[in-house]
Amino acid sequence: MQSDTIINQPWQFGYRGRVAVFIDGNNLFHAARFHTIDIDYNKLLRVLLGDGRLLRAFFYTGVDAGAERQQGFLLWMRRNGFRVIQKELKTFYDGTRKANLDVEIAVDMLSLAGKYDTAVLVSGDEDFVYAVNAVAYKGCRVEVAGFRSNTAPKLIDVADFFIDLGEIGELVRKDISSNGRYDVPSFIPPDALPPQDVLHAHNGKDYSDISSEVQINRTSDYTEADDEALADMIRVIDER
């Protein structure tokens, strides 16, 4: 009964009508990883939809064309009702590889305003404050979903309602099947993927032990549980 209270509470704050969901994939992954939660995106979508009617669910992420395991996840997302917007990674002068999709998310939110009654932005990035305000000025309800400790206070302040995923973690966490595997593949952003030579070395093999071959920069509070979490996140089903 307690879970019913948690899941229904956000939808008591106004009429939600047609709902559009905008998921900042990389931002959500790193926040969920910090809280040791592997997200089930089907469950997440059902929770965010509540008593509303889904218009569109968008998932934004950077991609590495050579990362077949990531492509398998994105294929699964497309087949399960998500509109995937992706951008090739860019390599910067310091060697980092990134793909920023903030503009794409903001443009889509503004372009579709009026087609939906409620926008749900799944991100903790403060850069979306202006876009959330702009959508609100068009008369749409805007809700922000994220982990409170990983969400910018200014973003929470401009939202009509904040959905703390940390409080409903058990409702969006992935279930483990009887064989100890996840039935739903895990999202792995490009910056969290192992080097290509490690992936190629495991071609056709079990990926569950791959983390042992990846160099990990451990912080002082890094534990064995973090190793297990990393192995779970790399354990991906390629439906192709």
CA atoms within 13 A on the CB side of 136: 17
Maximum mean pLDDT: which of 42-56, 57-71, 219-233: 42-56
For the record, the structure tokens of 195 come out as 């080097």
Instruction: For the chain, state the CA radius of gyration.
Output: 18
- CATH superfamily of the 2-7+14-172 domain: 5'-nuclease (3.40.50.1010)
List C-alpha distances in Å: 116 to 21, 53, 58, 139.
10, 9, 13, 10
- The pLDDT tens digits for 146-199 are 999 999 999 999 999 999 999 999 999 988 754 444 445 555 555 555 444 444
**Which tens digits make up the pLDDT trace of 195-206?**
444 444 444 444
The pLDDT value given to residue 185: 53
Give span(s): CATH 3.40.50.1010, the chain.
Answer: 2-7+14-172
* Strands 90-91 and 118-122, sheet pairing: unpaired
